[in-house]
Each structure stands twice: as C-alpha cells, then as structure tokens.
C-alpha cells in the first residue's frame, strides 16, 4: 500500500442509545473519542425485524389498489 493515502484507523468508544458503551475501530475522530448514536442496531426496525408495516397514506399503493380493486388483488 502507498504511505500517507489511508486514514488513521484507531479505537473509539461508541455509546449506544441504551447507554452501553462499545469499543470499535474506526476512522472517525481520534483515539479514545466517544461517538453517541441516535439510532443503533439494537433498536432500529431494519435490524430487529419489528415494525413491518406499509407506510403509504394515499400514495402509489393506494392508487394501485383503487385502480385494480375489481380484479381481486
């Protein structure tokens, strides 16, 4: 690898939304800095599998259903 082209990779503290602190390697900040997360994998529906509902209020899905409601969809 070429020298001086890659960012410094060091250990930081990552504070989760529930208050837990986890050490991770990152290029963010400096050695020992703390990054506080607003959303983390322990609470986000994309990782937990919860909250699987269709968020469509009068949008494309509703228009499709209204257009083809007589066909049995």
Residue 18 lies in a domain: yes
Total domains present in the chain: 1
Residue 45 lies in a domain: no
| Domain span including residue 5 | 1-37
Q: What is the DSSP string of 27-71?
A: SSSSTT-EEE-SS-TTT-HHHH--------SSSHHHHHHHHTGGG
Residue 58 lies in a domain: no
Residue 49 lies in a domain: no
Across the range 5-32, mean pLDDT stands at 93
Bridge partners of residue 25, in order along the sequence = 11
Q: 20 pLDDT exceeds 80?
A: yes
CA 16-49-69 angle, to 5 degrees, is 140
What's the confidence (pLDDT) of residue 73?
A: 58
What is the token pair recorded at 25?
């390697």
Residue 51 lies in a domain: no
pTM, two decimals, is 0.56
């Amino acid at each position: 690898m070429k020298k001086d082209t890659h960012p410094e990779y060091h250990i930081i503290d990552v504070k989760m939304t529930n208050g837990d602190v986890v050490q991770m390697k990152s290029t963010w900040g400096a050695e020992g800095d703390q990054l506080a997360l607003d959303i983390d994998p322990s609470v986000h529906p994309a990782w937990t599998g919860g909250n699987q509902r269709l968020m469509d209020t009068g949008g494309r899905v509703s228009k499709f259903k209204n257009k083809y409601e007589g066909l049995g969809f």
